[in-house]
Amino acid sequence: MAGPSAALVALTRSAPSSRTRSNPAAGTVSCAARVPVLDAGLMPPYWWECCDCRAKFDFQRIAGVRGMPDFVWDHLVPAGWDQSVLVRPCPTCRKVCLRVGYQFPRRNNVGLLLIHAVGLGPIDDYVPMMWETQPDDSDDTFFDFKYVRGRSVWGLNKPAVFSRINLRVLFGMFAEKTGQPFP
Ligand SMILES: [Zn+2]
């Protein structure tokens, strides 16, 4: 797999592992270094960010996993998409508003915080999802359709495709898990 996604995959593997060490793209990341607050220059495509003090942290420190695909498989799916797993206490200011952060996929420099997430399946290793997300330049929330296939970050940058019946199931699930009518 060549192209920009290869660099994104390498960056999500910030946790010490033999795979990180063998990856030349990740050679600048010291295996011993586990910085509490992320350096903007090493910002992975997904991180945890406080909605109040804006401190940023890596997945390993906050959720004990390497990145977003592992978080889906090891936290969201086993929890039955319980929305409470998406918010954590901030290690810096202690406010309970630490959420997954990422960047708007088609506009640079707009940060997003993940508010809600629901998904279907898993269908073998495929989990299509709908995320409700809050841009840092808007009071509105937006809906982002994406997927994970296995432990790869690849599908997180691509739109998931749903049938009419699956959309109905997904919207019903969103209403149930968030307690909000949808759409
Ligand atoms: Zn904070």
Nearest Cα to 182, choosing from 99, 113, 115? Answer: 115
Query: Does some domain include residue 7?
Result: no
Number of other CB atoms surrounding residue 75 within 10 Å:
16
Query: Does some domain include residue 57?
Result: yes
Residue 159 CA: distances (Å) to CA of 129, 146, 147, 162: 9, 5, 7, 10
pLDDT digits (tens, 9 = 90+) for 57-107: 999 999 999 999 999 999 999 999 999 999 999 999 999 999 999 987 666
- The pocket of ion ligand 1, defined by CB under 5 A, consists of 50, 52-53, 90, 92-93
- Centre of ligand 1 to C-alpha 23, Å, is 33
- Centre of ligand 1 to C-alpha 124, Å, is 37
Query: Does some domain include residue 115?
Result: yes
- The total number of structural domains that make up the chain: 1
Which structural domain, as residue segments, surrounds residue 72?
46-178
Query: Does some domain include residue 173?
Result: yes
Query: Does some domain include residue 110?
Result: yes
Q: Is the pLDDT of residue 34 over 60?
A: no
- Centre of ligand 1 to C-alpha 89, Å, is 8
- Centre of ligand 1 to C-alpha 47, Å, is 14
- Centre of ligand 1 to C-alpha 90, Å, is 5
Q: Is the pLDDT of residue 25 over 60?
A: no
Query: Does some domain include residue 25?
Result: no
- Rounded CA-CA distance 51/54 in Å is 6
Query: Dihedral, CA atoms, 41, 42, 44, 50, nearest 10 degrees?
Result: -70
Q: What is the pLDDT of residue 106?
A: 64
Band of pLDDT at residue 46, cut at 50, 70 and 90? very high
Query: Does some domain include residue 11?
Result: no
Q: Is the pLDDT of residue 1 over 80?
A: no
- Centre of ligand 1 to C-alpha 159, Å, is 31
Mean pLDDT, the chain, integer: 81
- Centre of ligand 1 to C-alpha 28, Å, is 28
Query: Does some domain include residue 41?
Result: no
